[in-house]
Amino acid sequence: MKSYSVGMSGNRWRMRLEHIRHRIAMSFEPRWFFLPQAVSPTSRLANGWTCRGRSSRSGASDSSRIASPGYRINLGAGVRPPSPPDVVVKVKALACELPKAQGLPLSRWSRRDLAREVVRQGIVGSISDITVWRWLTADAIRPWSYRSWISMRDPDFAEKASRVLDLYHRTWAGHPLGPNDYVISADEKTSIQARGRASAGTPVPGRLRRVESDYERNGALAYLAGWDVHRARIFGLRQDTNGIKPFQALVDLVMKQEPYCSARQVYWITDNGSSHRGESACARLTERYPNATLVHTPIHASWLNQIEIYFSIVQRKVLTPNEFKSLEEVEDALLGFQSHYEAIAEPFEWKFTKDDLKNLLEKANRIMAHQAA
């Protein structure tokens, strides 16, 4: 009889078989979970709730060996036991506090930190971080996450923001703008560096583009720009720094050309930067150009200024990654993109309305009232 060789040696086959058996055995290892509150009286550990139970390999409850009779319950296969309501509430309440309120040197909770603190305070005898995560996720509580927030400290926030939103919808002081009225959104993008890389980054087929992390600083400049909100035109220039005179240079660039020099009114929307802050800046602009009006956004509300949208596009498409050997290269890139973008640009679809503003202010007031309480 003709014999055939097996493609796997006997030793290798036995090792693989043992590996499979090990995985099967591990999948049926006892697992810890919380037992539900029973109708009958329950017993407690010295440091809190007796919450330890485990399932046997057959899937039946194996907690009778370690739990009191009041905890015994017959669960169907695959059914997760409900969590003790008072324990869940206490864990969620703890997660909503800062760790320093519990005397811990932490800035925010992680799920493992919470699990340890819950046990330390005697809320439960033991608990896994996965269980903590599951309970918090049910109510979208994520104490390990945060976002930056600037509180509204401008007492005239609603009034100033409403004026800006009205201009975006071609209204001023309750009257519609005429065909010879224009709205310019302006600001500065400061400290743009020219970073000369130690080696040139080149595309590699089948890989992400690699950019050398080691670079040499070749100076920094400021880019000032104005955006015609309704005509999708962009005006910009390079300056060594920002300030009153550089901003006046941007205003001159716009106001000395048509149709702005002969316009009935040109509204300049700016934030409260030092280059154009306060009533003195309004007076300077009107004195220089009688048909120009400076309109400030509320304090800490640059997100209402549409030029910031354009700056974010410049950051993504021109300045990231930053690979420039000189400031002249940076200037050429900025002004070159400016011409390229204007050829394809359309007015931004601004959807934030005065109704949205009202809802935002109401929400902010509720948050501040909660924090004060």
| pLDDT value of residue 49 | 47
Report d(CA 305, CA 353) in Å as an integer. 14
Beta strands of 87-232 (E only): which ranges?
A: 171-172, 175-176, 181-197, 215-228
| pLDDT value of residue 10 | 54
Domains and CATH numbers, the chain: 32-138 (no CATH), 157-198+215-363 (3.30.420.10)
Contact status, residue 176 vs residue 230, Cβ threshold 8 Å:
no
> What are the residue ranges of helices labelled H in the chain?
10-27, 85-95, 111-120, 129-138, 157-168, 244-255, 278-288, 307-317, 327-344, 354-372
Report d(CA 340, CA 226) in Å as an integer. 16
Token reading at 153: 């400290």
Question: Of how many residues is the chain composed?
Answer: 373
Residue 194, φ and ψ in degrees, nearest 5:
-105, 110
Token reading at 93: 């309440």
* β-strand pairing of 181-197 with 215-228: antiparallel
Q: From residue 166, how far is each of 176, 231, 255, 359 by CA, in Å?
A: 9, 16, 22, 17
Could you count the other beta carbons within 10 Å of the beta carbon of residue 127? 23
Token reading at 115: 């699990």
Sign of the alpha-carbon dihedral angle for 105, 110, 115, 118: positive
Start-to-end C-alpha separation, the chain = 91
Report d(CA 119, CA 182) in Å as an integer. 64
Residue with tokens 């909660």: 370
Sign of the alpha-carbon dihedral angle for 164, 169, 173, 178: positive
329-334 own/partner pairs: CB under 8 Å, 24+ apart: 329/194, 330/192, 330/194, 330/221, 330/238, 331/221, 331/238, 334/192, 334/223, 334/236, 334/238
Report d(CA 54, CA 63) in Å as an integer. 5
Tens of pLDDT along the chain (373 residues) come to: 444 444 445 555 555 556 655 555 554 444 444 444 444 343 344 444 444 444 444 444 444 444 444 444 444 555 556 668 899 999 999 999 999 999 999 999 999 999 999 999 999 999 999 999 999 999 999 999 988 877 788 889 999 999 999 999 999 999 999 999 999 999 999 999 999 988 877 777 888 888 888 899 999 999 999 999 999 999 999 999 999 999 999 999 999 999 999 999 999 999 999 999 999 999 999 999 999 999 999 998 989 999 999 999 999 999 999 999 999 999 999 999 999 999 999 999 999 999 999 998 998 888 878 777 7
Report d(CA 68, CA 42) in Å as an integer. 7
| pLDDT value of residue 28 | 46
| pLDDT value of residue 370 | 79
**What angle (nearest 5°) sits at the alpha carbon of residue 274, between those of residues 270 and 280?**
80
Q: From residue 151, how far is each of 137, 155, 253, 367, 371 by CA, in Å?
A: 27, 12, 35, 10, 11
